[in-house]
Amino acid sequence: MELKSYLLKRQTVINQALEGYLPGIRQTPGSIHQAMRYSVLGKGKRIRPILVLAACEAVGGKPSLALPAACAIELIHAYSLVHDDLPAMDNDDFRRGKPSTHKQFGEALGVLTGDALLTFSFELLSRQNHDSSMRLKVIREVARAIGTQGMIGGQVADVQAGRRIDPEQMEAINRKKTGALIAASVRIGAILGGASAAQYRALSFYGDRVGLVFQLVDDLLDNDGAVKVDGAEAVRRRADRLTRSAQSALTPLGARAEPLKSLAGFILTRGS
């Protein structure tokens, strides 16, 4: 399949939906709505929402029904970036080729923008066209992935880690900090697509591995994290192995999982 045009099509749909969901700047208080739009719209690969739609598709669901949830995941990702860039965290002045949110709008609005994106993401998750038990499952899945057992927990462990960190600790941090949201993206796509128990298990396995690969590749690109602990060669080999095992897990899903298979390859070989 032609991944480039698939990605472009999905990115366009997601960007249009995000544009429509986010509150307009004329709505009071305009400043925060402007900062939310600034933080979300524009550049961004949209990997996580694309995974939501592709997982839904892989089990025979209609991707358009999973669009609000896919966008909610992107809002959560944007919130994590906005907060991660704050002076109290990584203190980054630039993000996606422009000044980071707190640099553009000030620190207080930076904190509030992250909070607002997170809050709004749950409103979107509750708004979907699915029955309430499915909605509840999705909300629980997302909340778990980004709470103290997931993204926040990983970030806390990262912030508090000493200089000497062993490979197991590193992997535990990666799994939670970045892997959990990616794995949850795949799982909620599966749930919204009406996955059977076996399909959900296969996609969970896939999501877990792809989530880890995402962070390993990030470390390879930045020459940081796992690369400092294990060396680039070992990290590259591990990422290759994990990708192959993620792709094998898709076999029972047949041709409908082709996009997910290509996406795993894209996550492994991406250059940014």
> Torsion-angle region of residue 156: left (phi > 0), alpha (psi -120 to 50) or beta?
alpha
Q: Is 96 among the residues that bind ligand GRG (CB under 6 A)?
A: yes
Task: Identify which range of 25-33, 64-72, 132-140, 148-156 contacts ligand GRG by CB under 6 A.
Answer: 148-156
Task: Name the H helices within the chain.
Answer: 3-21, 30-40, 47-58, 67-84, 101-105, 107-126, 132-146, 151-160, 167-174, 180-192, 197-222, 226-230, 232-248, 258-269
In the complex, minimum distance from the CB of residue 219 to ligand GRG, in angstroms, rounded to a whole number: 9
What residue type is 113 in one-letter code?
A: T
What residue type is 244 in one-letter code?
A: R
The residue (of 83 and 102) whose beta carbon lies closer to ligand GRG is 83
Q: Is 102 among the residues that bind ligand GRG (CB under 6 A)?
A: no
Going by C-beta distance under 8 Å and a sequence separation of 6 or more, which residues neighbour residue 271? 221
Report the distance separating Cα 153 and Cα 262, nearest Å.
30
Pairing mode, strands 94-95 and 98-99: antiparallel
**Which member of 14, 52, 53, 81 binds ligand GRG (CB under 6 A)?**
81
Q: Is 36 among the residues that bind ligand GRG (CB under 6 A)?
A: no
The residue (of 124 and 146) whose beta carbon lies closer to ligand GRG is 146
CA of 214: how far to CAs of 63, 161, 221, in Å?
Answer: 23, 21, 11
Q: What share of the chain is helix, strand, coil (3-state, %, to 5)?
A: 75, 0, 20
**Which member of 25, 65, 134, 152 binds ligand GRG (CB under 6 A)?**
152
**Cβ-contact 232, 30 below 8 angstroms:** no
**Cβ-contact 48, 210 below 8 angstroms:** no
Q: Is 178 among the residues that bind ligand GRG (CB under 6 A)?
A: yes
**Cβ-contact 68, 13 below 8 angstroms:** no
Report the distance separating Cα 19 and Cα 158, nearest Å.
33
Q: Is 47 among the residues that bind ligand GRG (CB under 6 A)?
A: yes
In the complex, minimum distance from the CB of residue 215 to ligand GRG, in angstroms, rounded to a whole number: 6
Q: Is 109 among the residues that bind ligand GRG (CB under 6 A)?
A: no
In the complex, minimum distance from the CB of residue 197 to ligand GRG, in angstroms, rounded to a whole number: 29
Q: Is 25 among the residues that bind ligand GRG (CB under 6 A)?
A: no
Q: Is 175 among the residues that bind ligand GRG (CB under 6 A)?
A: no
Q: Is 89 among the residues that bind ligand GRG (CB under 6 A)?
A: yes
User: Segment 59-78, which members bind ligand GRG (CB under 6 A)?
Assistant: 77
Task: Identify which range of 51-59, 151-159, 187-195, 197-205 contacts ligand GRG by CB under 6 A.
Answer: 151-159
Task: Identify which range of 54-62, 147-155, 190-198, 247-255 contacts ligand GRG by CB under 6 A.
Answer: 147-155
The residue (of 64 and 148) whose beta carbon lies closer to ligand GRG is 148
Residues forming the site for ligand GRG (CB under 6 A): 44-45, 47, 77, 80-81, 83-84, 89, 96, 151-152, 155, 177-178, 218
